[in-house]
């Protein structure tokens, strides 16, 4: 089986042992599927959200006006077959650091205008997109929070042109066996759809 690359974006705050537990399980399960995994713990990185530069050249790291760790996120993302988001859930949405990281990835897929003679045409970038698996850790069972999180992940997958996505909400305090089973099932689902 050819080697696959996975990127884990850890959007936890310092001392969030539930996300650390989810990350450990995820890394082991990805290794079981043959994925080489890179973990980026966003709280240790220095980057801002996308500055929406007027030049529109954000997809090239050397052209981004923000010279920070956002370039590293884009670089690893582009080389990945699967992106895994680990985030605490308070209201069903990503942590601030995950939101900023996703904002920095969106310009990769921005179309550009290409001038040819007297006409312009819209050119879409030819970049393969990784599949998306998101794990949100909630304080309690909350159907509205879970539904909102699933919707946010599906919209993110569309924006990032992810060919497949899966969203999973775990309750803080659940046993490791439950987390292991759900994370394993989610990873197996997404990895079974990866091509190559």
- Distance from C-alpha of 10 to C-alpha of 43, rounded to nearest angstrom: 8
How far CA 61 is from CA of 70, 126, 149, in Å, comes to 9, 16, 30
**Digitized pLDDT (tens) for each residue of the chain, 196 residues in all:** 457 999 999 999 999 999 999 999 999 999 999 899 999 999 999 887 666 665 555 544 445 666 788 888 989 999 999 999 999 998 888 999 999 999 888 878 776 666 677 777 666 677 788 999 999 999 888 899 999 999 999 999 999 999 999 999 999 988 889 999 999 999 999 888 876 5
What local confidence, expressed as pLDDT, does residue 61 receive?
43
- Distance from C-alpha of 25 to C-alpha of 183, rounded to nearest angstrom: 7
The class that CATH gives domain 4-192 is alpha beta
Q: What contacts 47, CB < 8 A, 6 or more positions away?
A: 66, 68, 69, 70, 73, 100, 101, 104
How many helices (H) and strands (E) would you count in the chain? 5, 7
Q: pTM for the whole thing?
A: 0.86
- Distance from C-alpha of 154 to C-alpha of 160, rounded to nearest angstrom: 10
- 7 close to 83: Cβ distance less than 8 angstroms: yes
What local confidence, expressed as pLDDT, does residue 43 receive?
93
Q: Is 27 helix (H, G, I), strand (E, B) or coil?
A: helix
């Amino acid at each position: 089986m050819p080697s696959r690359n996975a990127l884990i974006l850890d959007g936890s705050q310092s001392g969030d042992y539930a996300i650390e537990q989810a990350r450990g399980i995820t890394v082991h399960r990805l290794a079981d599927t043959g994925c080489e995994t890179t973990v980026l713990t966003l709280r240790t990185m220095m980057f801002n959200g996308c500055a929406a530069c007027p030049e529109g050249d954000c997809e090239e790291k050397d052209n981004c006006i923000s010279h920070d760790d956002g370039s590293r996120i884009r670089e690893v993302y582009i080389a990945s077959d699967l992106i895994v988001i680990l985030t605490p859930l308070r209201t069903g949405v990503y942590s601030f650091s995950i939101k900023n990281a996703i904002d920095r990835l969106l310009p990769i897929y921005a179309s550009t205008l290409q001038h040819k003679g007297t006409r312009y045409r819209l050119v879409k970038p030819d970049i393969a997109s990784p599949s998306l698996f998101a794990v949100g850790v909630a304080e309690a069972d909350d159907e509205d929070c879970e539904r909102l999180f699933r919707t946010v992940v599906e919209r993110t997958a569309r924006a990032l042109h992810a060919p497949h996505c899966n969203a999973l909400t775990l309750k803080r305090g659940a046993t490791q066996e439950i987390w292991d089973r759900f994370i394993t099932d989610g990873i197996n689902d997404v990895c079974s759809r990866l091509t190559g």
